[in-house]
Amino acid sequence: MAFRRRNKSYPFFSQEFLIQNHADIVFSLVIFILIGLMFEATAKTAILFIQPQYNITTLSLEGEVTTYQYGWKDCATILFYFFIAIILHAVVQEYLLDKVNRRLHLSKSKNTKFNESGQLCVFHLVSSVWSFYILITEGYLLHPSSLWENYPHSHLRFQVKFFYLTQLAYWLHALPELYFQKVRKEEMPRQLQYICLYLLHISAAYLLNLNRVGLVLLFLQYVSELGFHIARLLYFTDENHQKMFDLWAVSFVFTRMATLTLMFLAVGFGLARSENQGLNLEMGDFNTVLIRMTVLLVVCLTQSWLLWKFIRFQLRRWREFRHEQAFRKKAAKQPLRQLKRDSLGHHENGVLKAENGLSPRTKKLKSP
């Protein structure tokens, strides 16, 4: 199964060969793991990569309920969906974004940003819909107090655990994609910053059993980022489409305020009043003053940094808008000056003629 058009063949084990065929190589690894399910000797090992582990079945009034915890075996599951993310990335790039790029004829810098926004637009759309579905079915939106009550939330439903595993797999796959997509060195620091921030916050919410609060925050963040990348895609297709950036600016500020409010409400007040206070690794309880203050500090610093970048971005847009307006006014005055100049006479055979048809008197140069 080829994901890329082979315009040129490269020698095996070369850098160009790896970049051109990385999706096919990963696809072969996925097929190899799936074939392992067909044999009894390897089925138990192969299932570690595909299905979430650490399931616990308990009896309730509704019948048998299966919940999940986390452990080191989750690394195998994350690795498998890490491979799946690379394959899906190649599919979206080849069959969607590359076809649009050929029609737009963008420059290299804009082409890189277009591909980045296109990939993230698909991911944020799927993740925001998926997280919203989980929030509705689990009842977290209708009962906000459930975000901190009965902590620690160490027993996860299948859809919650699978959501977190796929989120970690996607943002881990974004690191090698910087190499496979040949991202410029100037763009590397910016992309590494938000990839590492996502990995840090998602891992902390998953490992500290703050998964309910993390779901709400991820939903708000993904909806806001979806608006930004849609606005950027529309801007690359037509530079006159800038109203979406204004809508995104409103949603960005709202997301920052909602994130800070929810974190102080859930972690700063809700968990502080919880009956379970103390550190218990076996129960998954991390409700201590030090951990709560550390979590709040990291979130506040991240939101402040994002707001600072947002303000700089808006100021740069405002300066570019003022410069463009001044250039348009200057361009509008130039035809008027040209009309005044042409009203004094006209050119005929390369010689300036007055309105009466006579050539103007040439001005004598002073002798040195």
Q: What is the pLDDT of residues 106-126, one digit of tens each?
A: 888 888 889 999 999 999 999
**DSSP secondary structure string, 191-218?**
HHHHHHHHHHHHHHHHHTT-HHHHHHHH
Burial classification of residue 316, based on how many CB atoms lie within 10 Å of its CB (0-12 exposed, 13-18 middle, 19 or more buried): exposed
Bridge partners (DSSP) of residue 60 are 63
Are 286 and 279 in contact, with CB atoms under 8 Å apart?
A: yes
- CA angle, 321 as apex, 315 and 322 as ends, to 5°? 90
Whether 154 is covered by a domain: the verdict is yes
Residue type, 212: R
Confidence bin at 8 (pLDDT 50/70/90): low
Q: Which domain holds residue 307?
A: 51-322
Whether 15 is covered by a domain: the verdict is no
Count the domains in the chain: 1
- Pick 262 or 328 by higher pLDDT: 262
Angle of the 158-180 helix axis to the 211-237 helix axis, nearest 10: 40
Whether 356 is covered by a domain: the verdict is no
Whether 140 is covered by a domain: the verdict is yes
Whether 7 is covered by a domain: the verdict is no
Q: Is the preceding omega at residue 335 within 30 degrees of 0, hence cis?
A: no
Q: Containing H/E element for 56? A: strand 55-60
Whether 329 is covered by a domain: the verdict is no
**DSSP secondary structure string, 219-269?**
HHHHHHHHHHHHHHHHHHH-TT--HHHHHHHHHHHHHHHHHHHHHIIIIII
pLDDT tens digits, 34-46: 999 999 899 999 9
